[in-house]
Structure 1
Amino acid sequence: MKPSLAFSLLAGLLLAGGVHASAADHVRASHAWIRVLPGDLPAGAYVTLENQADQPVALSGASSSIYARVMLHHSAVEGGMSRMTMVDSLTVPAHGKAVLAPAGYHLMLMQAATPVKPGDTVRLTLKFSDGSTLPADFIARPANALDAGD
């Protein structure tokens, strides 16, 4: 094979690979924290996701080596009652952000394998609808925390 043909083929493969970047390649996670509750009560995880892509992306869930189950939930007040429902995904708009925060969208963390204490760092792997993943470190905060503390 001629060197110029090999170079052209390689360049074409590299360009083709760049066109199909995953959702996780365009998302930045910040202000990631967990509200730790006493005993075996579930914890809530919160994060700001910024999408730098030209297309929206969808967060479809998360996983953790510490927690047996991680579910995407939404809390809302309806008729004076607070309700929490499990959701399949959360859209992060193109060149925009989605904020997972108390009383809104959040990750529900169930059945910790070991106790998580305020000050601990817990890695969660965020999952997107295209199958890509983004590892993010979440700081554990006490039950009365309202934000990441940063």
Structure 2
Amino acid sequence: MSIKTRTFAALSSAVALSFSFALASPAHAADAKAISVKDAWVRWLPGNLPAAGYVTLVNAGDKPVDLVDISSKDYGDAMLHQTVSSGSSQKMVMVDKLTVPAHGQVAIAPGGYHVMLEDAKHKIAPGDTVHLTLKFSDGETLDAPFAVKPPAQTK
């Protein structure tokens, strides 16, 4: 094989490789996670009392996505609840899903939606970090760290 032929072959391979990366880039961008979390924290309570998790879910995608399941390696049970007011009383109701609007966000915050965390699998205290796994209707799964804060914490 002549030098001219090898040079042409090398250049052809480089161009083909560059072209394939250029084609792959938009696909990679489309595969970026649409959902992210911010301000994730847990209000710890003493003893064996349930804790409550709070977070803001942000959807950078073009379509609404539902939060459909929550689990944790740190707790035996993790369930999405909503505090509902009825006159002078309040009650917690379990929620099957929570929609995060396209290009929007939803707050899971004190007084509204919250993640009820029961049956801690190990000792948990303020200053710790626990992890919750959030599953969405589009198939996305997100492992999110939650800072554990004392009972008086409101944010």
Which letter does structure 1 place at the counterpart of 2:150? Answer: P
> What residue is the counterpart of 2:41 in the other structure?
33
* Contiguous gaps of at least 5 residues in structure 2: 1-12
Is residue 134 of structure 1 aligned with residue 109 of structure 2? no
CA RMSD of aligned residues (A): 2.4
Q: What is the CA deviation profile of residues 9-62 of structure 1, one whole-angstrom value per residue up to 9, with x for unaligned ones?
A: x78x9589669748xx10110100000011111100000111111111111121
> What residue is the counterpart of 1:108 in the other structure?
116
> What residue is the counterpart of 2:92 in the other structure?
84
> What residue is the counterpart of 2:52 in the other structure?
44
Q: Supply the distance in 1 between the matched residues of 2:113 and 2:88 (Cα, whole angstroms).
A: 18
> What residue is the counterpart of 2:154 in the other structure?
146
Q: 1:74 aligns with which of 68, 72, 82?
A: 82
**Runs of 4+ in structure 1 over 4 Å off:** 13-22
- TM-score normalised by length of structure 2: 0.80
How far off is 1:104 after superposition?
0.5
Which letter does structure 2 place at the counterpart of 1:136? Answer: A
SS at match of 1:131: coil
Is residue 97 of structure 1 aligned with residue 101 of structure 2? no
Which letter does structure 2 place at the counterpart of 1:49? Answer: L
- TM-score normalised by length of structure 1: 0.83
Question: Which one has a bigger Cα radius of gyration?
Answer: 2
Q: What is the CA deviation profile of residues 85-135 of structure 1, one whole-angstrom value per residue up to 9, with x for unaligned ones?
A: 001110000111000001111111110011210010111111112332011
Question: What percentage of residue pairs aligned between the two structures are identical?
Answer: 46
Output aligned runs, 1:112-127, within 5 Å. 112-127=120-135
